[in-house]
Amino acid sequence: MLKIVITIIFIILSSSTPSSSSSYFNIPKILLLSHDFKLASHEFLSANITDINSKTELTVFVPEDHAFEDASRYKTLPIENKYFVLQCHMVSDYLSPSLLLQTAKVWHLEATMGTAIMGDKKYMMNITLQGNGSIEVSNQFVRGLVTRTIYDHSPIAMYGITKVLLPRDLPDIAPPPQKTADGSSAAVCGFQFFPILLFYFLVLCI
């Protein structure tokens, strides 16, 4: 009978376990492990652009550390504006290295997450191929070159770029959402002691 009780407890524990962390893609963590992107990791973390659903199509163009160091105007921005600027470096499509090159060859205008926030055609990103074969990304005000592939695993890709793509004009937006536990974590908090209590209850009933 005790074995049956333990089996029941194990099943309940398994069902109450949160989703695997592999369900989320942590941008700051990946950047922290990449050379020349320590400042970028800090900026994304400070702006609370962290865990992304790993099944979401996303391409992120990440300024290298020297780009953040040189971006004096960016440094003085409040956190809500920094959040928006970083969103303007993100595209809700998966552009693998080969697809990025194909896109650049035809001078593509891509909507960014900043475009989605504003709900209009502003804050788009130009992706173009230069004569020397390098890929340029720009917002018609700041131009940066793609220097490397940081991460590429469908449906998410991340590339290093030489500039912070700071728009000429920034909109008035609310501060970024506060970081909170996801639904699965909240469920664990609510039920983490339940299997233990159930175990004692069933043992007492035997």
pLDDT reading at 195 higher than 90: no
The whole model's pTM is what? Answer: 0.75
Q: Is the pLDDT of residue 107 over 90?
A: no
The answer to whether the Cα torsion of 166, 27, 128, 93 is positive or negative is negative
Residue 153 has pLDDT above 70, yes or no: yes
108 beta partners: 127
Q: At residue 194, does pLDDT exceed 50?
A: no
Report percent pLDDT > 70 for the chain: 74
Spell out the alpha helix ranges (H) of 26-136: 27-32, 38-46, 65-70, 72-75, 79-87, 97-105, 113-118
Residues above pLDDT 90, as percent of the chain: 66
Question: Does residue 38 lie in a domain region?
Answer: yes
Helix, strand or coil for residue 145? strand
Asked, for residue 114, whether it belongs to a domain, the answer is yes
Q: Which domain holds residue 81?
A: 21-165
**φ, ψ dihedrals at 91, nearest 5°:** -120, 135
Domain count, the chain: 1
pLDDT greater at residue 29 or residue 6: 29
